Amino acid sequence: SLTDKLGQALRNLRGVGKLSDENMADALKEVRTALLSADVHFKVAREFTERVQAQCVGQEVTKSVTPGQQVVKIIHDELVRLLGEGTTQLSGARPLKIMMVGLHGSGKTTSTAKLGKLLKKRGYRPLVAACDVYRPAAIDQLEILARQEELGFYADRNSKDVPAIGVAALTAAQTATADCIIFDTAGRLQIDADLIEEVKKLRARVQPDEVLLVVDGALGQEAVNVAKTFHDALSLTGLILTKLDGDARGGAALSIKSITGVPIKFVGTGEKTGDFEVFHPDRLASRILGMGDVVSLVEKAQETIDEKEAEKMAEKLRKADFNLEDFLSQMQQVKKMGSMQSIIGMMPGMSGVALPDDAERQMGRTEAIIKSMTIQERRKPEILNGNRRQRIANGAGVKIVEVNQLLKQFQQMQKMMKMLKGGGGKKMMRQMEA
């Protein structure tokens, strides 16, 4: 398994010069698939990868990562930029008026209470107003949550006149000296014209500072239509993405953001009123890409692996004059990146893979063996006869069979590299890149 681990390190060292359409193709394909399976609208996914491709071609590849990893990193950064555009802050003088809109079941009522709780923590005195006149249960639900969080509450169970209820809520807020009013409006299973008309009227009457669309994070491709309709009618000021505690990857947010430009302001991460956070674009980007943590792997590699050193090593590999001294320094580079297990854990699809318990110890032993050799021996391992091997084993505190094993592995590696150098190794090279 030492060879496997080394293989990984070597992959990171291959001397790919620049990103090109060819060496990026696979990575881009993977990313597009990741976006689609995260429910990103196909048009958005296509435009996004095309733009990233145009950006990537011609870029220098950091020698210590594969082009694939580098592309993922560029895509991640672009995704963070796109998702993070605009402000997550709520704007408006006190009393701050916020209108919550969205489809039925998106988490509107829950998010109304969650937002009230969060604003209360920030020093506001919030009042929540029930403007869903079609479902008495929704009014009750909001009342229970408001009482639980000690928020002001307004409802008029006898009225069906939503704009009038809104205005009455403003008066009630004034009386109660509340300085923040959150209107929970009605939702439907699907967008319909009557609903939109009603919410538009309410908006005109209460003049909210913020109109926030609540979107279920698991909403698929239709997210775009939902958001567009609401945005065209109401000029949304922000999005709240809910149910991010589930399996949903939240791709709908990217589609909505790309098409409407409306910033994401908060995310819901559970059923409890405390499960609510200010939006962090980097977290959502990693989630949408579903790429394990390639990004931090790339960052780590860029930080710790010495570029010049890596270049020298790549050159040696090309010439197949890699010796045990190089092997040692290679191993030390890998060690600088952190524990083997944590590096493996950051690789996509590998997070569940456990290394044998003694992998790290093995590496330590290998290091000790090489360190017990003279410089000459490291450079020309073929001079290692029985006597020398025994001396090295004693020096490293290991059995001579371990020294033999290491030398055998090393010979195999050298053979492999000679094959690559011979030019017959295209297929092998490809395997190493995989």
Binding site feature residues for GTP: 102-109, 184-188, 242-245
List 267's β-bridge partners, or say none.
Answer: 241, 277
Cβ closer to ligand GDP: 105 or 364? Answer: 105
Q: How many Å apart are CA 262 and CA 101, to the nearest integer?
A: 14
- Minimal distance in Å, beta carbon 237 to ligand GDP? 18
Q: How many CA atoms lie less than 13 Å away from 170 in the CB half-sphere?
A: 17
- Minimal distance in Å, beta carbon 183 to ligand GDP? 12
Whether the Cβ atoms of residue 32 and residue 45 lie closer than 8 Å to each other? yes
Cβ closer to ligand GDP: 106 or 330? Answer: 106
- Minimal distance in Å, beta carbon 355 to ligand GDP? 34
The helix (run of H) or strand (run of E) holding residue 215 is strand 210-216
Q: Which residue is nearest to ligand GDP (CB)?
A: 268
- Minimal distance in Å, beta carbon 110 to ligand GDP? 3
Q: How many Å apart are CA 198 and CA 164, to the nearest integer?
A: 11
- Minimal distance in Å, beta carbon 148 to ligand GDP? 13
User: How many CB atoms lie under 10 A from the CB of residue 192?
Assistant: 11
Q: Which amino acid is at 368?
A: A
Cβ closer to ligand GDP: 64 or 106? Answer: 106
Cβ closer to ligand GDP: 69 or 110? Answer: 110
- Which positions lie near ligand GDP, rule CB under 6 A? 102, 104-110, 187, 242-243, 245-246, 268-271, 275
Residues 6+ away with beta carbon under 8 Å from 59: 18, 19, 70, 74
Instruction: Specify burial of residue 238 (Cβ count, 10 A radius: 0-12, 13-18, 19+).
Output: buried
Report how far apart, in Å, the C-alpha atoms of 387 and of each of 85, 218, 375, 394 are.
67, 67, 17, 11
Cβ closer to ligand GDP: 245 or 282? Answer: 245
Cβ closer to ligand GDP: 53 or 242? Answer: 242
Cβ closer to ligand GDP: 40 or 214? Answer: 214
- Minimal distance in Å, beta carbon 226 to ligand GDP? 12
Report how far apart, in Å, the C-alpha atoms of 365 and of each of 4, 303, 396, 398, 403 are.
16, 26, 7, 8, 10
| Size of the chain in residues | 434
User: What does residue 60 show for φ and ψ, rounded to 5 degrees?
Assistant: -70, 140
- Minimal distance in Å, beta carbon 241 to ligand GDP? 9
Q: How many Å apart are CA 256 and CA 226, to the nearest integer?
A: 9
Bridging pattern class, strands 210-216 and 96-102: parallel
List 229's β-bridge partners, or say none.
Answer: none
Q: How many Å apart are CA 176 and CA 84, to the nearest integer?
A: 36
